[in-house]
Amino acid sequence: MRIVPPAITMILSWATCTSAFSSTSRMMARGTSTTTRRLATTTTTTLRSSTKESSTTEIEWPTTKIRETFINYFSDRAHKFVPSSPSAPLNDPTLLFANAGMNQFKPIFLGRAAPGTELATLTRAVNSQKCIRAGGKHNDLEDVGRDTYHHTFFEMLGSWSFGDYFKEEAIEYAWELLTSVYGIEKERLYATYFGGDESLGLEADLEARDFWLKYLPEERVLGCDAKDNFWEMGDTGPCGPCSEIHYDRIGNRDASHLVNMDDPEVIEIWNLVFIQFNRDENGLSLLPAKHVDTGMGLERLCSLLQNKSSNYDIDAFTPIFDTIESLASVGAYEGKLGEEDVTLKDTAYRAVADHARTLTFALADGAVPSNMGRGYVLRRILRRATRIVEYACVLKLRLCVCKNLLILAFVAVVVDTFGEAYPELVKNQADIIEIIEEEETAFSVMLDKGIKYFDEEINDGEAKVVPGDKAFFLYDTVGFPIDLTELMAEEAGMTVDMSGFEAEMEGQKERSRLARLAAKGLSGDRLELIAEQTSWLADEGIEVTDESYKYKWDVKVDATVKAVFTSDGFLGDGESAKEGDSVGLVLDKSSFYAEAGGQDADLGTISFEGGELIVNDVQVYGGYILHSGVISTGSVSVGADVKCQVDYDRRRDVAPNHSMTHVLNAALREVLGDGVDQRGSQCNDEKLRFDFSHKSAMTVDQLRDTEVYVRETIEKSLPVKAEVMALADAKAIPGVRAMFGEVYPDPVRVVRVGDDCSVEFCGGTHISNTAEAEAFVLTEETAVAKGIRRISALTRGAAAKAVAEGTEFEGKTSSLESINPDETPDLDKQAGALRKDLDAAELSAALKAELRARIEAVQKKGIEAKKRLLAGRVDKVLNTVTADVEEALAAGKKTLVLNLDIGADSKASQKVIKAVQKIAPELAFMGISEEEVGSGGKILCFTIVPASVQESGLKANEWLKDVLDSVGGRGGGKPGNAQGQAPNCSDVDAVIAKAESFVNDAIAVA
| Range of weakest confidence among 137-151, 549-563, 581-595 | 137-151
Examine the pLDDT at 765 and tell me if it is beyond 50: yes
- Which residues is 558 bridged to in the sheet? 643
CA distances from 454 to 380, 388, 450, 492, 827 (A): 19, 20, 6, 10, 43
Q: So what's the pLDDT on residue 101?
A: 87
Starting at the edge strand found earlier in the chain, the sheet holding 788-795 runs 678-683, 688-693, 788-795, 776-785
Q: The dihedral of CA 230, 233, 238, 242: what is its sign?
A: negative
Asked if 255 and 266 touch (Cβ cutoff 8 Å), the reply is yes
Please state, in angstroms and rounded to a whole number, the distance separating the CA atoms of residues 244 and 230.
10
Q: What is the tens place of the pLDDT at every residue in 653-662?
A: 999 999 999 9
Examine the pLDDT at 95 and tell me if it is beyond 60: yes
Which residues 6+ apart lie within 8 Å of 264 measured at CB?
Answer: 147, 148, 149, 249, 309
| Range of weakest confidence among 398-412, 942-956, 977-991 | 398-412
- Which residues is 793 bridged to in the sheet? 688, 778
Looking at per-residue confidence, does 160 or 512 come out higher?
160
Q: So what's the pLDDT on residue 118?
A: 82
Examine the pLDDT at 161 and tell me if it is beyond 60: yes
Count CB atoms within 10 A of the CB of residue 461.
6
Looking at per-residue confidence, does 874 or 555 come out higher?
555
| Range of weakest confidence among 272-286, 814-828, 903-917 | 272-286
CA distances from 794 to 230, 530, 687, 780, 868 (A): 52, 36, 5, 10, 45
Please state, in angstroms and rounded to a whole number, the distance separating the CA atoms of residues 377 and 103.
19
Count CB atoms within 10 A of the CB of residue 697.
11
Is residue 716 exposed (0-12), middle (13-18) or buried (19+ Cβ within 10 Å)? Answer: middle
Is residue 845 exposed (0-12), middle (13-18) or buried (19+ Cβ within 10 Å)? Answer: buried
Binned at pLDDT 50, 70 and 90, residue 137 comes out as: low
Binned at pLDDT 50, 70 and 90, residue 510 comes out as: confident
**Residue 560: half-sphere exposure toward Cβ, Cα within 13 Å:** 7
Mean predicted confidence (pLDDT) in 95-102: 84
Q: What is the tens place of the pLDDT at every residue in 529-574?
A: 877 788 789 878 899 999 999 999 999 999 999 999 998 899 998 8
Binned at pLDDT 50, 70 and 90, residue 759 comes out as: very high
The amino acid at residue 405 is L
Please state, in angstroms and rounded to a whole number, the distance separating the CA atoms of residues 207 and 905.
91
DSSP letter string, 468-512:
HHHHHHIIIII---HHHHHHHHHHTT-EE-HHHHHHHHHHHHHHH
The amino acid at residue 496 is V
Please state, in angstroms and rounded to a whole number, the distance separating the CA atoms of residues 540 and 323.
62
Q: What angle do CA 920, 925, 927 make, to 5 degrees?
A: 130
Q: So what's the pLDDT on residue 612?
A: 96
Mean predicted confidence (pLDDT) in 19-24: 32
Q: How many residues does the chain have?
A: 1006
Looking at per-residue confidence, does 292 or 12 come out higher?
292
Integer distance in angstroms from the first to the last C-alpha of the chain?
Answer: 62
Examine the pLDDT at 1006 and tell me if it is beyond 70: no
Binned at pLDDT 50, 70 and 90, residue 341 comes out as: confident
CA distances from 970 to 405, 825, 942, 965, 967 (A): 52, 27, 11, 7, 9
Examine the pLDDT at 694 and tell me if it is beyond 70: yes
Please state, in angstroms and rounded to a whole number, the distance separating the CA atoms of residues 14 and 24.
14
Containing 761, the helix (H) or strand (E) segment is strand 758-761
Q: So what's the pLDDT on residue 93?
A: 59
What does pLDDT average to over the chain? 86
Q: So what's the pLDDT on residue 13?
A: 33
DSSP letter string, 167-193:
HHHHHHHHHHIIIIIS---GGGEEEEE
| Range of weakest confidence among 31-40, 96-105, 188-197, 967-976 | 31-40
CA distances from 962 to 930, 931, 953, 985, 996 (A): 18, 20, 14, 15, 11
Q: What is the tens place of the pLDDT at every residue in 247-260?
A: 999 999 999 999 99
Q: What is the tens place of the pLDDT at every residue in 164-190?
A: 999 999 999 999 999 999 999 999 999
State what percent of residues in the chain have pLDDT above 70: 88
Q: So what's the pLDDT on residue 325?
A: 83
DSSP code of 587?
Answer: E
Mean predicted confidence (pLDDT) in 269-287: 87
DSSP code of 149?
Answer: S
Phi, psi for residue 622 in degrees, rounded to 5: 55, 30
CA neighbor of 630 nearest in space, from 718, 566, 714: 566
Please state, in angstroms and rounded to a whole number, the distance separating the CA atoms of residues 813 and 817.
6
DSSP code of 419?
Answer: T
CA neighbor of 10 nearest in space, from 379, 388, 436, 407: 388
CA neighbor of 209 nearest in space, from 246, 240, 171: 171
Examine the pLDDT at 949 and tell me if it is beyond 70: yes
Q: What is the pTM of this model?
A: 0.62
Q: What is the tens place of the pLDDT at every residue in 358-393?
A: 999 999 998 888 767 788 788 878 876 644 434 323
Examine the pLDDT at 517 and tell me if it is beyond 70: no
- Which residues is 495 bridged to in the sheet? 465
Q: So what's the pLDDT on residue 387?
A: 46
CA neighbor of 143 nearest in space, from 487, 389, 384: 384
Containing 209, the helix (H) or strand (E) segment is helix 206-212
Mean predicted confidence (pLDDT) in 766-778: 97
Q: So what's the pLDDT on residue 521?
A: 55
Q: So what's the pLDDT on residue 107?
A: 82
CA neighbor of 207 nearest in space, from 227, 223, 220, 183: 223
Please state, in angstroms and rounded to a whole number, the distance separating the CA atoms of residues 408 and 429.
11
Which residues 6+ apart lie within 8 Å of 740 measured at CB?
Answer: 90, 91, 366, 677, 678, 679
Q: So what's the pLDDT on residue 55?
A: 39
Binned at pLDDT 50, 70 and 90, residue 94 comes out as: low
